[in-house]
C-alpha cells in the first residue's frame, strides 16, 4: 500500500480481517467505499490477481462523486492505468480491478464460468440474496490469492442482509460492540437454511459433508471518519437533519452506528405530537391547495381510495389550513374540486395572497390531456362565478416513491415548523398522518406532501388567466 494512503482505525479492522466474507458499515459516512477501494491494493503486485467491485446500477458507478471517481483518487498513485471503456484499472504487474453492476438477477448469466479472486459489493443491502450467493460461487482463483469477498452496507430492516447479520446486532437494533469484528462460520443446510456456528470445527463435526465459510461484520459510523468530518463538517449536519427513520438508519448512535431494526411505523414517519393547533388564521404568504384525485367509487367489499385536497400556507413557517377528503365518483370529484377552489378564492379575495392550485398527475399523455381539461373547466367556473383573478394552476408529475416525496414535510414537522389551523378535519388528518404507513391509504399524506413541496421548492408553474377568451398561458 502506498505510503500516502492510510486507512482509519475502523477501516483497518475491516481490512485486516481473515474472514472469507467481511462486511463493513451499518451507517452513512464511515468511509465504507474508501475501505473497499483499498482492499485490492494489497495484491496489486500479483500479475494474476483480479477483482470486481459491484454496484447495483451502472449510474451508481459513474455518477459524480461515485465509486469510479473515488477510485481515481487512489489507484493512479499506485501506477494504475484506467480503461474507461470497461471501467477497469490495470496495475504495472498486470493485476486488475474492474467495476460492474448487477441490476437484475438475469445479469448473473454474464458471470457463468467467471473466476474472480476478490469480489466486492458496495452497499450490499441493495442486492438480492441470490445475487450475493451466486457470485460467491464465482469466487475462485488460480492466482495464489485465497478467494474472498468484501462488502459494505447501510442498515435496512426489510432486506435479507438484516437477518444474515442479526448475530452482530443487539436487541435495540444497533451494533453489538462486543461482537463487531468477531468471526462466525456458516453452512447452507439441507433445507436451504443458513446454519451458524462459533467455530469451523463445530460445524464440521455437525455437518461433515459440508464446508463452512467464515463471516464477520465490522460496524462503523460517521464519527469514525475524522477525515470526512474535517473536510466536510456540514455532512454531519445533513445526517442530523434527516427525518427520524432515515436519521436512525444512517446516523444512529455515535458509537454503534445505524439502527438495523427501525422501520417506517406509526408515529415515526409523522407524529401527532409534532403539531400544535392554532385558532387564529395566518395572513399573507403563499397558499397552495394540492389534490390527490381518485376516481374510485365506494363498492361493497372493497375499501376505496379517496380524493384528498389539502390547503397549506407558507409564511415564516407552514400552516395546514384545511383538508377535504372523500370517496366520490369522477363527476362528483370534479364538482368538489371546483366548488372547493371557488370557496378558497372567495375567502382569499383582496388579501393579495398568491393562490396555487395543484394536483398529482400520473405519467403519460392521457394525464396531460386530463390536466388541460381540468384547467379549462376551472377557468370556466371561475369566470361564471364572476371572480376576476389569475389562478396559478398545474398538474404535478409523480416521479418518486410516496414516502420519499413526504420526507421533507416529515423533517419540517419534527422540528416544529408546521402548525395546523383548528377545524373539524384536525383529528382525521392527525390520525391519517400519525398512522403512516400502516393504514395502507396515503391519499391525504400525498396531498399534504404535494402542497408542502410546491410551497417549499417554489415552482409555481402555469396560471389560468380569466378573461373573455378563457385561455391558458404559461408563466407567472
- Read off the pLDDT of residues 220-238 as tens digits, 9 standing for 90 and up: 999 988 888 888 989 998 8
Section 413-423 average pLDDT: 91
Whether residues 59 and 194 share a domain: the answer is yes
SS3 annotation, 312-376:
EEECCCEEEEEEEEECCCHHHHHHHHHHHHHHHHHHHCCCCCEEEEEEEECCCHHHHHHHHHHHH
- Strand, coil or helix: what is 256? coil
Q: 321 with 313: CB under 8 angstroms?
A: yes
Q: Given this model, what pLDDT does residue 174 score? A: 95
What is the dihedral angle through the alpha carbons of 116, 117, 121, 122, rounded to the nearest 10 degrees? -120
Q: 406 with 437: CB under 8 angstroms?
A: no
Confidence label for 15 from pLDDT (cuts 50, 70 and 90):
very high
Please say if the pLDDT value at position 5 is more than 70. no
Whether residues 181 and 317 share a domain: the answer is no
Q: How far, in Å, CA of 255 to CA of 246, rounded?
A: 17
Sign of the alpha-carbon dihedral angle for 229, 235, 237, 239: negative
Domain assignment of residue 305, yes or no: yes
Domain assignment of residue 151, yes or no: yes
- Provide the 8-state DSSP code for 164: H
Whether residues 318 and 465 share a domain: the answer is yes
In DSSP notation, 227-255 reads HHHHH-THHHHHHHTS-HHHHHHHT-BTT
Confidence label for 465 from pLDDT (cuts 50, 70 and 90):
very low
Q: Given this model, what pLDDT does residue 375 score? A: 86
Q: How far, in Å, CA of 403 to CA of 442, rounded?
A: 9
Burial class (CB in 10 A: 0-12, 13-18, 19+), 126: buried
Average confidence score pLDDT of the chain = 87
Domain assignment of residue 19, yes or no: yes
Give the range among 73-77, 247-251, 259-263, 459-463 with minimum mean pLDDT.
459-463
Whether residues 233 and 327 share a domain: the answer is no
Q: Which of 72-81, 241-250, 440-449 has the highest mean pLDDT?
A: 72-81
Whether residues 46 and 173 share a domain: the answer is yes
Domain assignment of residue 265, yes or no: no
Give the range among 17-26, 46-55, 262-271 with minimum mean pLDDT.
262-271
Cis peptide before 24 (omega within 30 of 0): no
pLDDT in tens, 146-183: 999 999 999 988 889 999 999 999 999 999 999 999 99
Q: Which of 219, 235, 231 is nearest to 32 (CA)?
A: 219
Domain assignment of residue 450, yes or no: yes
Boundary residue ending a domain (228, 245, 262): 245
Whether residues 219 and 295 share a domain: the answer is no
Confidence label for 13 from pLDDT (cuts 50, 70 and 90):
very high
Which CATH number characterizes residue 460's domain? 3.30.420.320
- Strand, coil or helix: what is 121? strand
Whether residues 331 and 389 share a domain: the answer is yes
Give the range among 51-65, 207-221, 235-249 with minimum mean pLDDT.
235-249
Confidence label for 473 from pLDDT (cuts 50, 70 and 90):
very low
Whether residues 82 and 222 share a domain: the answer is yes
Q: Given this model, what pLDDT does residue 71 score? A: 96
Section 198-212 average pLDDT: 95
Q: How far, in Å, CA of 290 to CA of 475, rounded?
A: 19
Whether residues 454 and 379 share a domain: the answer is yes
Whether residues 355 and 436 share a domain: the answer is yes
Which CATH number characterizes residue 159's domain? 3.40.50.300
Q: Which residue has the cell 477483482?
A: 51
pLDDT in tens, 308-365: 999 999 998 899 999 999 888 888 999 999 999 999 998 988 888 889 999 988 766 6
Whether residues 240 and 276 share a domain: the answer is no
Q: Which residue would you say has higher pLDDT here, 182 or 394?
A: 182
In angstroms, how far apart are the furthest CA atoms of the chain? 89
Burial class (CB in 10 A: 0-12, 13-18, 19+), 34: buried
Confidence label for 460 from pLDDT (cuts 50, 70 and 90):
low
Determine the structural domain holding residue 25 and report its residue range: 9-245
Section 281-287 average pLDDT: 89
Q: How far, in Å, CA of 114 to CA of 96, rounded?
A: 14
Confidence label for 98 from pLDDT (cuts 50, 70 and 90):
very high
Q: What is the pTM of this model?
A: 0.63
Give the range among 52-56, 159-163, 335-339, 381-385 with minimum mean pLDDT.
381-385
Domain assignment of residue 239, yes or no: yes
Laid out side by side, the sheet with 276-278 consists of 276-278, 418-421, 318-326, 307-314, 286-292, 354-361, 390-397, 463-465, 471-473
Domain assignment of residue 369, yes or no: yes
Domain assignment of residue 351, yes or no: yes
Whether residues 280 and 357 share a domain: the answer is yes
Number of domains in the chain: 2
Please say if the pLDDT value at position 297 is more than 50. no
- How many degrees, rounded to 5, is the angle at CA 271 between CA 250 and CA 360? 85
Amino acid at each position: 500500500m502506498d505510503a500516502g494512503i492510510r486507512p482509519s482505525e475502523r477501516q483497518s479492522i475491516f481490512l485486516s480481517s481473515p474472514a472469507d466474507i467481511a462486511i463493513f458499515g451499518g451507517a452513512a459516512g464511515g468511509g465504507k467505499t474508501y475501505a473497499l477501494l483499498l482492499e485490492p491494493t494489497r495484491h496489486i503486485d500479483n500479475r494474476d490477481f483480479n477483482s470486481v467491485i459491484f454496484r447495483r446500477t451502472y449510474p451508481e458507478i459513474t455518477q459524480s462523486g461515485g465509486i469510479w471517481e473515488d477510485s481515481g483518487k487512489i489507484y493512479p498513485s499506485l501506477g494504475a492505468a484506467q480503461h474507461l471503456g470497461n471501467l477497469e484499472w490495470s496495475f504495472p504487474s498486470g493485476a486488475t480491478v474492474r467495476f460492474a453492476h448487477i441490476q437484475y438477477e438475469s445479469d448473473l448469466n454474464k458471470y457463468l464460468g467467471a473466476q474472480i479472486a476478490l469480489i466486492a459489493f458496495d452497499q450490499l443491502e441493495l442486492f438480492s440474496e441470490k445475487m450475493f450467493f451466486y457470485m460467491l460461487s464465482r469466487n475462485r482463483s488460480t492466482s495464489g490469492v485465497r478467494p474472498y469477498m468484501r462488502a459494505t452496507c447501510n442498515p435496512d430492516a426489510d432486506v435479507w442482509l438484516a437477518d444474515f447479520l442479526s448475530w452482530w446486532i443487539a436487541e435495540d437494533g444497533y451494533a453489538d460492540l462486543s461482537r463487531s469484528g468477531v468471526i462466525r462460520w456458516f453452512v447452507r443446510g439441507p433445507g436451504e437454511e443458513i446454519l451458524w456456528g462459533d467455530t469451523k470445527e463445530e460445524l464440521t463435526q455437525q455437518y461433515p459433508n459440508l464446508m463452512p465459510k467464515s463471516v464477520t461484520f465490522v460496524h462503523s459510523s460517521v464519527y469514525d471518519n475524522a477525515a470526512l468530518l474535517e473536510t466536510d463538517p456540514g455532512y454531519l449536519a445533513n445526517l442530523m437533519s434527516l427525518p427520524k427513520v432515515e436519521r436512525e438508519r444512517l446516523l444512529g448512535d455515535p458509537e454503534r452506528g445505524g439502527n438495523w431494526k427501525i422501520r417506517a411505523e406509526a408515529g415515526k414517519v409523522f407524529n401527532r405530537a409534532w403539531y400544535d393547533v392554532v385558532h387564529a388564521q395566518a395572513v399573507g404568504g403563499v397558499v397552495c391547495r394540492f389534490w390527490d384525485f381518485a376516481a374510485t367509487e365506494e363498492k361493497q367489499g372493497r375499501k376505496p381510495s379517496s380524493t384528498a385536497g389539502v390547503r397549506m400556507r407558507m409564511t415564516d413557517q407552514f400552516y395546514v389550513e384545511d383538508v377535504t377528503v372523500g370517496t366520490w365518483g369522477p363527476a362528483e370529484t370534479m364538482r368538489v374540486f371546483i366548488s372547493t377552489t371557488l370557496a378558497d378564492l372567495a375567502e382569499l379575495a383582496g388579501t393579495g395572497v398568491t393562490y396555487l392550485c395543484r394536483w398529482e398527475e400520473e405519467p403519460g399523455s392521457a394525464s396531460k390531456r386530463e390536466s388541460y381539461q381540468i384547467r379549462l373547466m376551472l377557468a370556466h367556473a371561475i369566470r361564471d362565478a364572476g371572480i376576476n383573478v389569475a389562478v396559478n394552476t398545474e398538474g404535478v408529475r409523480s416521479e418518486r416513491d410516496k414516502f420519499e416525496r413526504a420526507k421533507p414535510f416529515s423533517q419540517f414537522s419534527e422540528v416544529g415548523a408546521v402548525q395546523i389551523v383548528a377545524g373539524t378535519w384536525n383529528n382525521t388528518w392527525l390520525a391519517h398522518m400519525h398512522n403512516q404507513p400502516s393504514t395502507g391509504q396515503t391519499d391525504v399524506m400525498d396531498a399534504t406532501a404535494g402542497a408542502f413541496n410546491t410551497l417549499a421548492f417554489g415552482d409555481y408553474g402555469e396560471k389560468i388567466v380569466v378573461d373573455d377568451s378563457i385561455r391558458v398561458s404559461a408563466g407567472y
